[in-house]
Amino acid sequence: MKGVVVDNRLLNDKYGLMCIESPEFVKNANPGQFLMIKTQLHNYLYDPLLRRPLGICDVNLKRGTFSLLYMIVGKGTKLLSNIAKEAVISFSEPLGTPFNLTADKKIAVIGGGVGIAPMLFLTKTLYENNSVDVYYGGAEEKDILLTHVFEKYSNNMKISTNDGSVGKKGFVTDLVENIDSYDKVYACGPKPMLKAAFELVKDIDEIDFEVSLEERMACGVGACLGCIIYIIDEKTEKIKQVRCCAEGPVFDGKQIVWDTVCKEQL
């Protein structure tokens, strides 16, 4: 698919926000899905060769536009940050399994760092029919973005940073009080944060827990098997491998084998 860049701006020296016009993409996009985007504009360039996976941050159905929040961490995202307005950019259709939406429930949305990106689209969608509390954490002030939008589409919002530069000092999961008052918890962010969220809900059967996992993806369609994670099969209760891009990136957080997912960061 192709779209026209409506806006591409740096929010700070660490994050950028790109808005793309593509009515066809927008009408098929759901909260929790992602795309594989080409970070260079010229076909004769093959570095970087692979497209980059980015979560869908927001959509505007009336305008036919969608936005992507990205963190500048390497050559691909640096090239992405330099793409100018009105450029034509290539990307995939909406990929992956979306979040399961609910209605008439009390919801907690927990996001950390760039993992907050898909949670904006989710929060705006849930807010129409639910009571939504947002818990947003980052390492420092630079990691706290788009708060004015989240505040507009949430009943309550709490912020934390590891260094205390914004909000309460500490981890975002420390902000969550009365966890048993929620019907469902959605989370996306660093794996240790997701595991900490799992620890909050694991013994409460009444709370549904969905997470969007961030894994390195080469193809985005399940062919390369480069984003394998381990979950517990509901029927057999045995551990099995699944592809984060194809079977995910959204999973039942209570089925994930968190010790294997977080091994590289523990």
Binding site for [2Fe-2S] cluster, by residue number, is: 219, 224, 227, 245
Tokens describing residue 230: 């381990």
Per the annotation, binding residues for FAD are 76-77
Q: What is the DSSP string of 218-266?
A: SSSSSSS--SEEEEE-TTT--EEEEETTTT-BEEETTTB-HHHHTGGG-
Tokens describing residue 170: 């500490």
Tokens describing residue 56: 């869908």
Question: Which residues are within 8 A (CB) of 56 and not within 5 positions of it... i.e. 6 or more apart?
Answer: 29, 31, 33, 34, 35, 66, 67, 68, 94, 117, 118, 121
Look up residue 216 and give its amino acid. R
Per the annotation, binding residues are 76-77, 219, 224, 227, 245
